[in-house]
A and B are shown apart, each in its own frame.
Chain A
Amino acid sequence: MISIDAKKQIDVWIAKYPKDRQSSAVMQALKIVQAENENRLSADTIQAVADYLDMPGIAAQEVATFYENYNHKKVGKHVIRFCHNISCMLNGADDLIKHLENKLGVKTGKITADGLISVKKVECLGACVGAPMFQINDEYFENLTSDKIDQIVNNLK
């Protein structure tokens, strides 16, 4: 259920915490396993992480459902997380989100027909002086305009 490579990555995190405190690594372990499983977690993968870290399944489940960065439903290969909070809103994020929805032909929360992209409205990503902005996978894109968005999205493969 968890690949050897994923276990190696998880072990790097376990080493940061005191002995017998390996459950501190659960947040990253879930992220690592999620990345290996089409960017989503299932009940089975969460249990596998719990088993690997020797913690109760429910404790891993609690973490997996508390934090926002875990996906429990199918998402696109690329997840566009568009900030809609105050500084981005003041700089036209709402219109740009509509523009993105029109361009992709999907509403926020949905996935494009080819499974490539999904869009999500998220709360502040801490880049307010670069508003409006969004995040695709691990990368931030700031000072967005409709042209810039078109360009970025056209390059997603």
Chain B
Amino acid sequence: MNEVCFKNLTKDQCYSLKTYEASGGYSVWRKILKGDLTPEHIIDELKASGLRGRGGAGFPTGLKWSFMPRHSDGQKYVVCNSDEGEPGTCKDRDILRFNPHAVIEGMAIGGFVMNASVGYNYIRGEFMEPFYRFEDALKEAYEAGLLGQNINNSSVNFDLHTHLGAGAYICGEETALLESIEGKKGQPRFKPPFPANVGLFGKPTTINNTESFASVPEILSRGGQWFADIGVENSGGCKLFSVSGHVKSPANFEVPMGTSFKDLLKMAGGMRDGAKLKAVIPGGSSTPVLTAEVAMSMTMDYDGIEKVGSMLGAGSVIIMDESTCMVEVLTRLAHFYYDESCGQCTPCREGTGWLYRVLERIIDGNGKQDDIGLLLGVQDKIMGNTICALGDAAAMPVKSFLRNFRPEFEYYIKHGKSMVKE
């Protein structure tokens, strides 16, 4: 446990340059500056490591980096997505607070591999403590001569800046994030063109999640195969899981991919007050909810969770005990997507409002008999009909909650009150 991003978690001043370097930090970057590593070698190692995007989409990082036109003329950018805000997700906040130098080194390595001399770390506007921590780390790295122009006479250039958000979940979508850095409303762009061709300020850009970048230095210093072997097939390495909800000791755990859900639950101290597990959202609010029985049989890796009908997402595990009213939970999630829809695509802008309002009237005791059909119809009209994935993210929970807990919704509509609450 805690071998990569959380390697130094228990050490004194784990976020300092001194602690980071004492545990081998910046050794990969220094090798690059000496000319001892090539971009091709780094991409091969990343491919061998099986590292997949930790922000939720799970796209292989090595492959993503290889898509950048590194030999094309002109400015290119690397961007880190620290706009963490999907309900249940709170791992990047801890990486920024406790291991900011791993993010810096990971981004610098990415910059070298993709021939991008400038990077931006987009941190959500509310994360002021992580922002100051990251800024302090940047200052340390500049002062130590690890960043800047012609670093150590290596002819390698890398400048890194922080961009602060201002409260919009949608900016976690990579093209909305680019719009936001350009000082605009965070509304996703139509793809193609993909950011690797037309990205930030119209230049080739690669965007990775905080945890992905933070994993890179350790992977390269210990070898892609080492990382791959920690995990299971198709899910290399270890991953941070944020376990929250009705558990005794909610926390972030960095564990090998393929760890059983049962074991993860135990790490979080098990169910609180001896309550019985009812439901689990395994990867953040956008991923389909699972019943206790199904969850207890799954392993925490891409294929393991997909096999039981959900997704690993960002590894945001929300635990619900038997006292939980699933109608209330879905209503709260629907409110989130209604609030956070950027308003660009009609199916999402209107559909999320419909979902929320229908659920709200059920909660208020005014549900109508055909409301379940209406909810399923609306989510079906959103699904696949929007520019970005927020629409799907709003639709998917509706379908899974109704599939797994339909009697609760029927009861609420019929009796005007919750089946599980007094």
Contacts and interface: CB of A to CB of B under 8 A. Distances in A.
Given A128-B250, A138-B128, A63 B245 contact: no
A86 B285 contact: yes
A87 B245 contact: yes
A66 B75 contact: no
Contact of B90 (A55, A70, A89, A129): A129
A128 B242 contact: yes
Interface string B121-139: 0001111110000000000
Contacts of B303: none
A54 to B, nearest CB: 11
Nearest to A65: B185
B90 A127 contact: yes
B147 to A, nearest CB: 13
A2 to B, nearest CB: 16
Contacts of A129: 90, 242-244, 250-252
Contact of A66 (B89, B124, B127, B186): B186
Given A124-B85, A126-B124, A139-B128, A21 B182 contact: yes
Interface stretch (B19-27, B34-42, B316-324, B348-356): B316-324
A39 to B, nearest CB: 14
A123 B243 CA distance: 18
Interface stretch (A24-32, A96-104, A110-118, A144-152): A24-32
A127 B168 CA distance: 16
Contact of B324 (A17, A62, A70, A90): A90
Interface residues of A, number: 43
Contacts of B244: 87, 90, 128-129, 131
B415 interface: no
B166 A31 contact: yes
Interface of B: 75, 84-90, 92-93, 120, 124-129, 161-169, 180-186, 201, 242-246, 250-252, 281, 285, 316, 318, 320, 324, 328-329, 332-333, 335-336, 339-340, 342
30 contacts: A16-B163, A25-B183, A26-B183, A27-B165, A27-B180, A31-B166, A63-B185, A66-B168, A66-B342, A67-B166, A68-B168, A69-B166, A81-B126, A85-B87, A85-B332, A85-B333, A86-B87, A86-B281, A87-B244, A90-B246, A90-B324, A123-B87, A123-B335, A123-B339, A124-B86, A126-B93, A126-B124, A128-B87, A129-B244, A129-B251
Given A31-B164, A55-B183, A87-B318, 13 more contacts: A24-B163, A24-B181, A66-B186, A67-B165, A67-B166, A86-B88, A86-B329, A126-B89, A128-B89, A128-B242, A138-B129, A139-B128, A140-B129
